[in-house]
Amino acid sequence: MSIFDIEIVKKYIRMCQDGWEQGWHERNGGNLTYRMKAEEVEACRPFFREPGEWVNMGVAGANLAGEYFLTTGSGKFFRNVEPDPEHSIGIVEINDKGDAWRIVWGLEGGAKPTSEFPSHFMNHSVRVAATNGECRVIYHAHPANIISLTYVLPLTARDFTRALWKSATECPVVFPGGVGVVPWMVPGGADIALATSELMKEYDAAVWAHHGLFCSGPDFDITFGLMHTIEKAAQICVLALSAGQGKIRQTISDDNLRAIAKEFGVTLNENFLD
Which residues of this chain interact with ligand 13P, rule CB under 6 A? 28-31, 72, 74-75, 114-116, 140, 187-188
- Whose Cβ is closer to Zn ion: residue 113's or residue 212's? 212
Selected range binding Zn ion among 36-44, 106-114, 211-219, 232-240, rule: CB under 5 A: 211-219
Report, in Å, the least distance between residue 116 CB and Zn ion: 6
Give least dist CB 115 to Zn ion, A. Answer: 9
Tell me the C-alpha distance between 114 and 96, whole Å. Answer: 21
List beta partners, residue 55: 101
Q: Using CB distances below 5 to 8 A depending on partner kind, what does residue 114 bind out of Zn ion, ligand 13P, none?
A: ligand 13P
The Cα angle at residue 251 between residues 249 and 255, in degrees rounded to 5? 135
Q: Catalytic residue among 40, 67, 93, 116, which?
A: 116
- 53 part of the active site: no
d(CA 246, CA 21) in angstroms, rounded, equals 30
Least gap, CB of 172 to ligand 13P (angstroms): 28
177, interface contact from Zn ion, ligand 13P, none, CB < 5-8 Å by kind = none
Report, in Å, the least distance between residue 21 CB and ligand 13P.
17
Closest to 67 in 3D by CA, of 43, 46, 38: 38
Cβ contacts of residue 145 below 8 Å, gap of 6+?
231, 234, 235, 237, 238
Binding segment for Zn ion among 4-12, 117-125, 209-217, 247-255 (CB under 5 A)? 209-217
What span, in angstroms and rounded, lies between the C-alpha atoms of 204 and 110? 33
CA distances from 260 to 63, 202, 253, 257 (A): 36, 21, 11, 5
Q: Which is nearer to Zn ion, 178 or 212 (CB)?
A: 212
User: Of these partners, Zn ion, ligand 13P, none, which one is at the site of residue 66 (CB under 5 to 8 Å by kind)?
Assistant: none
Work out what residue 180 binds among Zn ion, ligand 13P, none; the CB cut-off runs from 5 to 8 Å by kind.
Answer: none
Closest approach of Cβ 143 to Zn ion, in Å? Answer: 11
Of the two residues 114 and 229, which places its CB atom closer to ligand 13P in the complex?
114
> Cα(first)–Cα(last) distance of the chain, in Å?
57
Nearer to ligand 13P, 76 or 127 (CB): 76
The torsion angles phi and psi of 212, rounded to 5 degrees, stand at 170, -150
Strands laid side by side in the 212-217 sheet: 55-56, 100-106, 89-94, 68-72, 31-35, 137-141, 212-217, 205-208, 180-182
Q: Between residues 13 and 174, which has the closer beta carbon with respect to ligand 13P? A: 13
CA distances from 63 to 122, 126, 190 (A): 10, 9, 18
Catalytic residues: 116
- Residue numbers of the site for Zn ion (CB under 5 A)? 212
